[in-house]
């Protein structure tokens, strides 16, 4: 067996290291029968190109961010809703592992587009970096914010009064440097590894959302696997949930120190008070109704079920 596994990140970053570890485990378990080539981001095009490659079966496996599938799988934009999941990455990960709304209902909606998400996992809590201090919604007024391509992510920043622009992360460093955009959201490890802190002066510890990625396979290819191989894939996907939790935790902790200790390119860390966080939450809340009425193709059913699961978990 020779499979291709594409990721949206580069060597050292969580998605890429995940895919390498996955490949290693599959190779060992199959006594060398399964060889998976892991592709770094960039070699096969943009994040959106990679979605198309998985759908067509050019690649068998991909780590994919729902933030790049929103124009197609509307429901997947659920992850754009800010302050929905708990602030704790651990609690969020447990919900991602057990959620029927995601692992059954949302999965079926992706499968209509030949994408089978086998697991959902967090790459950490997201923070805002910016060219100015962001500590209340008014600071976002007309602020040029870079986002991924899902329309609901843009909508979420418009709710704060911002002026969002979707782009691939491959263009982001230069765009921040030139001021084409003034800020962005990502987990800390990614901000540090991609050096966005070099071209940003502030990082708000907003924890406004968890970054969620999916381990995906081409639906027809997966259905065609023999039972033994399918079981091996499924088991490895399950094992990897704990592995990736530890990996993101380590990387996010390490990069926070790196960013704090970078005296050459200092970044001011902005902590939000409960009141300040509440002000963002208030603005974010109505986006859920917009999701239910304008985005969802199933009357918000996946969201309502997920909210029940989140409430039960908390």
Q: Which residues bind ligand 6CS (CB under 6 A)?
A: 8-9, 47, 65, 123, 148, 169, 186-187, 190, 211
Minimum distance of ligand 6CS from residue 15's CB (angstroms): 6
Spatial neighbors of 178 by CB under 8 A, at least 6 apart, are: none
Cα 222 from chain centroid (whole Å): 23
Q: Which is nearer to ligand 6CS, 149 or 267 (CB)?
A: 149
Q: Which is nearer to ligand 6CS, 129 or 267 (CB)?
A: 129
Minimum distance of ligand 6CS from residue 123's CB (angstroms): 5
Strands 2-6 and 210-218: unpaired
> Among 210, 40, 251, which residue's Cα sits nearest to residue 121?
210
Q: Which is nearer to ligand 6CS, 79 or 300 (CB)?
A: 79
Cα 118 from chain centroid (whole Å): 15
* Alpha-carbon span 170 to 120, nearest angstrom: 23
Q: Which is nearer to ligand 6CS, 6 or 159 (CB)?
A: 6
Q: Which is nearer to ligand 6CS, 47 or 139 (CB)?
A: 47
Spatial neighbors of 48 by CB under 8 A, at least 6 apart, are: 68, 149, 168
Q: Which is nearer to ligand 6CS, 9 or 60 (CB)?
A: 9
Q: Which is nearer to ligand 6CS, 157 or 169 (CB)?
A: 169
Paired strand residues for 94: none
Neighbours of 304 (CB within 10 A): 15
Cα–Cα distances in Å, from 257 out to 85, 176, 261, 267? 25, 22, 6, 11
202 near 130, Cβ under 8 Å?
yes
Name the 3-class secondary structure at 19.
Answer: helix
215 near 107, Cβ under 8 Å?
no
* Alpha-carbon span 69 to 226, nearest angstrom: 29
Minimum distance of ligand 6CS from residue 313's CB (angstroms): 24
Minimum distance of ligand 6CS from residue 155's CB (angstroms): 17
């Amino acid at each position: 067996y020779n499979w291709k596994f594409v990721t949206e990140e580069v060597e050292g970053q969580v998605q890429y290291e995940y895919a390498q570890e996955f490949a290693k485990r599959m190779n060992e378990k199959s006594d060398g029968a399964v060889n998976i080539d892991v592709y770094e981001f960039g070699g096969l095009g943009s994040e959106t190109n990679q979605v198309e490659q998985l759908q067509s079966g050019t690649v068998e496996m991909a780590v994919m961010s729902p933030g790049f599938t929103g124009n197609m799988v509307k429901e997947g934009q659920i992850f754009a809703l800010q302050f929905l999941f708990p602030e704790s990455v651990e609690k969020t990960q447990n919900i991602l592992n057990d959620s029927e709304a995601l692992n059954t209902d949302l999965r079926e909606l992706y499968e209509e587009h030949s994408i089978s998400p086998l697991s959902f996992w967090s790459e950490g809590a997201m923070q805002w970096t910016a060219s100015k201090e962001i500590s209340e919604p008014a600071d976002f007024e007309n602020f040029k914010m870079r986002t991924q391509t899902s329309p609901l992510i843009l909508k979420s920043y418009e709710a704060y009064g911002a002026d969002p622009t979707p782009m691939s992360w491959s263009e982001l460093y230069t765009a921040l440097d030139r001021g084409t955009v003034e800020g962005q959201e990502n987990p800390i490890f990614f901000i540090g590894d991609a050096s966005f802190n070099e071209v940003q002066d502030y990082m708000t510890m907003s924890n406004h959302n968890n970054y969620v990625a999916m381990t995906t396979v081409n639906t027809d290819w997966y259905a065609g696997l023999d039972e033994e191989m399918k079981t091996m894939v499924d088991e490895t996907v399950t094992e990897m949930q704990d592995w990736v939790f530890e990996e993101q935790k380590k990387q996010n902790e390490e990069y926070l120190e790196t960013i704090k200790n970078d005296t050459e390119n200092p970044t001011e860390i902005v902590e939000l008070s409960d009141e300040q966080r509440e002000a963002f939450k208030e603005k974010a809340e109505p986006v859920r109704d917009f999701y239910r009425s304008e985005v969802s193709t199933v009357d918000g059913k996946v969201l309502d079920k997920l909210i029940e699961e989140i409430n039960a978990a908390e």
